[in-house]
A and B are shown apart, each in its own frame.
Chain A
Amino acid sequence: MTAEVRRAVDAAFRDEWGRLVAALIRSTGDWDLAEECAQEAFAHALRTWPRDGIPQRPGAWLTTTARHRAVDRLRRETVGTAKLREAALVIPEPGPGDGGVPDDLLRLIFTCCHPALSLEARVALTLRTVAGLSTAEIARALLVGEAAMAKRLTRAKAKIRHAGIPYRVPPAHLLPERTPAVLGVLYLLFSEGYAASVGAHLLRGDLCDEATHLARVLADLLPGEPEVLGLLALLLLHDARRAARTEPDGQLVPLEDQDRTAWDRAAIAEGLAVLDRALHHRAPGPYQVQAAIAACHATAADAADTDWAQIAALYGCLTRWRPSPVVELNRAVAVGMADGPAAGLELVAALERTGALAGYHLLPATRADLLRRLGHHADAAAAYRAALELARTDAERHYLRRRLAELTRSPGGSHR
């Protein structure tokens, strides 16, 4: 097979898989059948395109092929309902009143992310059905055994069928409560890729790519939803730092030490433009605020040049929607940069008194950084050691060890 065909099939897979499966689910009501027929259509493309050439409209070719497969499969079934479903298949594409093809994909996304499914189930189902990853790929990406992942997917599809989760885009009055469920899935997907919470690999870039791709698709489908744009901006701005975020050996590089010339300027420009579009709606939300924070970092020449006061204020804003100790900790970091380490330490101490982040390595790590900047090196070293005990990835441990080594080597180490 030529590289050209391979590229065409890959591109069609990325652009068409979700739409194809979505349309097949609508016409057959059978999720497994839809996935299998979509898969067969792509397999058929791999066999015939090298011989017959790449069709002018690969999407239409794949749809027709998959629909033929579905009709064949249903004909072979002996149950009486098969005839009914076959009839549904020959019904032409829905008219304009029904929203047409793009709505199919939106329907699929909202159904996969229905809040009656657990977050784990939503994430797995979205990767399988919307993005077209295989069960094995999803299991690997989410660090779950393949058998367990297969079970999770089967259970999720069974619940959709048995519990009567509707296959539709929620009506307007439900969108405000349902859209966050979708955004939450994409955000989690991205975070999983951005910082694997356990294990040796910090970056699983493919998950970041999937999440950003899906956020882009969603932003195209729901251009009037500022939080969707906010999420896309946030992912673009974070992902722009990818190349600078780790050293070749996988070590984590903290934001302040990153080589900012290695940041992806095109992604930053796009992220800033998308954020602008979102802010024009004048309906702020947690993703827009987080994107605004990322924008402050992305537009600063270096750590010292960063508008930390603005970032501290934005974190203060964020607690309105996301009152969480982690947000509070981030605010402490920003305040520590804007108003000095002593002010940051006060907020960290307040957090420690609540006990909410006990066991979270970034709490002692933050205190350690602030103490180091105050020159209290012995206390800082103790806090770095406490953080090391709690860190969960090799990259995090590596970073903390390096900081600790710098402290103990430093001649100015104070012993108050």
Chain B
Amino acid sequence: MRYLLLICGDETAAEHAEDGCEGWSEEMLDRGVLVGGGGLRPPTDATTVRVRDEELLLSDGPFAETKEQVGGFCLIECADLDEAIEIAGKHPAATYGSIEIRPMLAG
């Protein structure tokens, strides 16, 4: 199954932005479960796009102003949720932020 790992944190997580992931990516690439992913610039650099009544609407900032923001993502492919939990639990960001595991729609 494919899962998207959304790596989230509040503003204090930003100080970890340049941390790298302490060998996590290498390990998961070796295991053949990491399909892709990367870290993101902070939400202050985000632009949100909507089209309503054929009009392009832009706003400065993320789509939702919440305390927790997405700081990175990884696409993984593994056997089941237990393996996804194990993979997410090994990511260093899990120790200071939180990681949401979202199953991808099949297909």
Contact = CB atoms under 8 A, between A and B. Distances in A.
Interface stretch (A5-13, A160-168, A278-286, A351-359): A160-168
* A contact patch SS: loop
Given A163-B103, A164-B1, A164-B103, A170 B81 contact: no
Contacts of A114: 81
Nearest to A160: B81
Contacts of A162: 103
Interface residues of B, number: 10
B80 A116 contact: no
B103 A116 contact: no
Interface string B63-107: 000000000000000011110110000000000000001010000
A174 interface: yes
Nearest to B84: A164
Contacts of A174: 82
Contacts of A116: 81, 85
A182 B1 CA distance: 25
A368 to B, nearest CB: 42
Nearest to A167: B80
A170 B82 CA distance: 9
B16 to A, nearest CB: 26
Interface string A152-187: 000000000011111000100010000000000000
Contacts of B3: 164
Contacts of B103: 162-164
A303 B85 CA distance: 48
Interface of A: 114, 116, 162-166, 170, 174
14 contacts: A116-B85, A162-B103, A163-B81, A163-B103, A164-B3, A164-B80, A164-B103, A165-B80, A166-B79, A166-B80, A166-B81, A166-B82, A170-B82, A174-B82
